[in-house]
A = this chain, B = another copy of it.
Amino acid sequence: MVESEQVTMTHGAGGVVMAKLIEEYVLPYLGGFKAEVGLEVLDDAAVVNGIVFKSDSHAVRPVFFPGGDIGKLAISGTVNDIAVLGAEPLALACGFVLEEGLPFRELKQVLSSMKAVCEQAGVFVVTGDTKVVEKGKLGGLVVNVSGIGCRSKALDHNLAMVRKYRSSFDSRWILDRNLKAGDQIILSGTVGDHGLAVLSAQEGVAFGSSIKSDVKPLNHMITKAMEIGGIVSMKDPTRGGLANALNEWSEKSKVGILVHEDKIPIREDVKVASEMLGVDPLEVGNEGKIILGVIREMAEDVLKAMKNTSEGRDAEVIGEASNSLDLVALKTLVGGKRILPMPIGDPVPRIC
Contact = CB atoms under 8 A, between A and B. Distances in A.
Interface of A: 1-13, 18, 21-22, 25-26, 29-30, 32-33, 35, 37-39, 45-46, 48-49, 51, 53-59, 61, 90-91, 93-105, 107-108, 111-112, 114-115, 118, 124-139, 142, 144, 146, 148, 150, 349-350, 352
A9 B134 contact: yes
A53 B135 CA distance: 31
Contacts of A54: 93, 127
Number of copies of this chain that the complex holds: 2
A61 B45 CA distance: 30
A173 to B, nearest CB: 13
Q: Which 10 A-B pairs have the closest CB atoms?
A: A136-B137, A12-B132, A33-B124, A55-B93, A146-B146, A57-B95, A46-B127, A29-B111, A46-B126, A144-B144
Nearest to A116: B29
**Chain A interface, >50% SS class:** mixed
Nearest to A44: B127
A9 B132 contact: yes
Given A25-B111, A39-B128, A104-B3, A57 B18 contact: no
A46 to B, nearest CB: 4
Contacts of A95: 55-57, 95, 144, 146
A39 B131 contact: no
A12 B93 contact: no
